[in-house]
Amino acid sequence: MNGSSRQAPSFEREPAKRVFAQELREARFHFKEGTEEKSPTYVLLPTGERANRIFLVGTLTEKERKGDQNLFYQARIADPTGTFYCIAGSYQPDAMQQIARIEPPAFVAVVGKPSVYDSPTGAALVSVRAESITTVDAETRNLWILDTARSTLNRLDKRGTDADSQKALEFYHTEVVIYRKMVYDALAQLKI
């Protein structure tokens, strides 16, 4: 060796973005960054931020065990703005075991990867492939609502100032008033 050591590139997980269910359900623009097989994929949120991982908190209202050979769970979770679905299967064994143990209704925190799928009818559907799902208390849910409201308003305030928010504006024709109302409606549901 010549004294210099070469290190393998380190891959850090991207921070999970806080997003309300209503905005997540409206996400349609998805893309891959890079050409490698393992290159990260993103969903561009209507408020102008790319999300490789997301963080949501809501009430697990139902869950369903599916599949025989390839067992997985599908869970329906509601936050103050609407519902979203998350799945966990053999590639997410920790999350699958966590969902299996939680009995609805229960407040849960979910970290996972958003995906956009085209249904047979042509409609775009968004789901979250859970990396983790844990039960939380009402105070944690309330804090998440406050933090997510702040994050959403910050994204709206910077719209059009960077490439992602400009692309979201062009693709979604984002109407700020709709998302501000979503935020205020979510805050109105806080039980503090």
Give the pLDDT of residue 13.
Answer: 75
Contact yes or no for 88/99 (Cβ under 8 A)? yes
In this predicted structure, the answer to whether residue 157 has a pLDDT above a threshold of 60 is: yes
Q: Does domain 17-188 have CATH number 2.40.50.140?
A: yes
pLDDT in tens, 14-71: 899 999 999 999 999 988 888 888 888 999 999 999 999 999 999 999 999 998 888 8
- Residue bearing the bigger pLDDT, 184 or 162: 184
**pTM, full prediction:** 0.88
pLDDT in tens, 97-110: 999 999 999 999 99
Which contacts of 97-101 are long-range, i.e. CB under 8 A and separated by 24 or more positions?
98/130, 98/132, 98/133, 98/134, 99/63, 99/73, 99/75, 99/130, 99/133, 100/65, 100/73
| Structure-block tokens of residue 97 | 């075991």
Q: What is the DSSP string of 81-119?
A: TEEEEEEEETTSHHHHHHHHHPPSSEEEEEEEEEEEEE-
In this predicted structure, the answer to whether residue 4 has a pLDDT above a threshold of 60 is: no
Give the pLDDT of residue 119.
Answer: 80
